Amino acid sequence: MATTRLILTPEAAHFPSSNYAALSVINNRPVLLFDGTTDEFAYWTTIAWQGLSGALTAIVHCFAVTGASGTLSFDCALEAITDGDTTNLNTTDSFGTDNTGTGTVGGTGYEETVSITLTNNDSIAVGDLVRVRLNRDNAGDGVTGDVAVTAIEIREA
């Protein structure tokens, strides 16, 4: 059985200088709005937890704001920096390759979860400085309008 290890909320996200998801509120719920035509990004920073040993999965909790028909696609990538690593944090990103997951939208405003198996996990280990990057993959996505992300759950097998 999988165990939830992290809950990543919209309020804890940080953003690139362009093509970023919009932090908003819908019905008193904080959300990240991902556009239907532009691949937009959000990031979270954390520390890899003690006891880390299993396979990881990201569960994206979301709903369609408009244009609720078709397949929804998200990419998720991890960057794991170990103490003493040669990655220059001033100048370099070192994310693993994107992992992709899809789901089918059931209607405007209805909860959907998209499961993304994090097989490309940048060799994450206990104590690593970790960034999680999420983007809506419009190339693999059939939902025409905005999608609101309410939370991301990181589970360990």
Round the average pLDDT of the chain to a whole number and report it. Answer: 94
pLDDT computed for residue 142 by the predictor: 85
* CATH number for the segment(s) 3-156: 2.60.120.200
Q: Mean pLDDT across the stretch 87-113?
A: 93
Total Cβ atoms within 10 A of residue 62: 24
pLDDT computed for residue 1 by the predictor: 67
* Domain residue ranges in the chain: 3-156
Residues 106-135 pLDDT 10s? 889 999 999 999 999 999 999 999 999 999
Residues 16-63 pLDDT 10s? 999 999 999 999 999 999 998 899 999 999 999 999 998 999 999 999
